[in-house]
Amino acid sequence: MTTLFSTFDLKGHTVKNRIVFPPAVCFHYSGDDGMVTDRNYEHYRLRAEGGAGIIIQEATSVWKPQRLASFQLGIWSDDHIPGLCRIASVIKKSDALALVQIHQAGLITPPSVNPVPAGPSANEKYKNSRALLLDEIHIIRDAFISGAVRAKKAGFDGIELHGAHGYLLNEFACSYYNKREDQYGGDFAGRMRLATEIIRGIRQECGDQFIIDYRLGVNSPTLEDGIEIAKYLESIGVDILHVSHGGLLIHLPRPPKDFQFNWIVYSGTVIKTHVHIPVITVNEIKTSERASWLIENNKVDFVALARPQLADPAWANHVKNGEPVNICSSCKPRCKWYIDAETCPAVQRLKKA
């Protein structure tokens, strides 16, 4: 039987188990230059040594004007490569697969970074927002491709394109945000053109063995659209899909009544039935029992747990060895890591231990 600790062959890379540490921005760890700091390095060292099979470095910006915050890690310049190389090396030293999520915030770019956020089209939800010019779309496309080339130079096994949570690539793919009438909008092919050009460019520049993962905003705006996007991404050479939400609270998929997980995890299991490439699912999986159920019942290929591994960097090893886990307190209204990791009750517990 396949278990949480079964290996997986991903394009010739042996992934040692089915546990993913998904991208999670470390707020205020880096500065305006987007350089990797010792604190970033240490954060990934602990998680890699903690046993997850795939570690995806947090959302890392390919173009400075569309960062999600002034402290976001960067991959927009060759100057970032040595720092990124430290993270890729320490992840690989623990025999984990090293990916980095590359990202543009689009309409979600905060005023502190850019007072006029830009996406496929202006959107009333975002104050002062405007549509990107054609030239800017080409700059961003090329920046994603250059970012992937830098990731490869830094030693990462691949990249994850952030196409979820209402950020730029999600916005382009989704008819709710994308009202363009030029070649980057209109029909399905138009809405997917930016992602298509980026994926083809990365494949051409980084080669066949380089892993291209796509974090899919599955309700974009409906689950049916998510399925269509997933199948299309597979057809153009994406290697693995990481299913998350599309940042919209409309048309939410409804899991069957007896399904013990939320609609995001459920959507991941639905996508798995429509594609042949591996699928990661995520969101409030929380425990090893629940994670195991998803893998053992072949509902998905990988499970991602963010907050559990923020709370306990060695979550995977503790589960493997039958040891107690330092449990995430599920802070409300929001995880403390969004403000200051030091205030996380689980981090404080670890420090006292």
Q: Which residues bind ligand FMN (CB under 6 A)?
A: 22-25, 58-59, 101, 162, 164-165, 215, 244, 282-285, 305-308, 335, 337-338
Residue 176 known to be catalytic:
no
Question: 190: part of which helix (H) or strand (E)?
Answer: helix 188-191
Give whichever of 62 and 131 is closer to ligand FMN, judged by the CB atom. 62
Provide, rounded to whole angstroms, the least separation between the CB of residue 328 and ligand FMN. Answer: 8
Query: What CA dihedral angle connects 4, 225, 196 and 151, to 10 degrees?
Result: -30
User: What is the distance between the terminal CA atoms of the chain, rounded to a whole angstrom?
Assistant: 36
Provide, rounded to whole angstroms, the least separation between the CB of residue 241 and ligand FMN. Answer: 13
Give whichever of 131 and 304 is closer to ligand FMN, judged by the CB atom. 304
Query: What CA dihedral angle connects 263, 291, 329 and 251, to 10 degrees?
Result: -10
Sign of CA dihedral 10, 146, 219, 24: positive
103: left (phi over 0), alpha (psi -120 to 50) or beta: beta
Which of 29, 44, 126, 167 is the catalytic position?
167
Identity (one letter) of the amino acid at 144? F
Identity (one letter) of the amino acid at 156? F
One DSSP character per residue, 296-353 reads HTTS-SEEE-SHHHHH-TTHHHHHHTTPPP------SSS-GGGT-GGG-HHHHHHHH-
Provide, rounded to whole angstroms, the least separation between the CB of residue 162 and ligand FMN. Answer: 5
Provide, rounded to whole angstroms, the least separation between the CB of residue 240 and ligand FMN. Answer: 14
Provide, rounded to whole angstroms, the least separation between the CB of residue 135 and ligand FMN. Answer: 27
Q: Which residues are catalytic?
A: 167
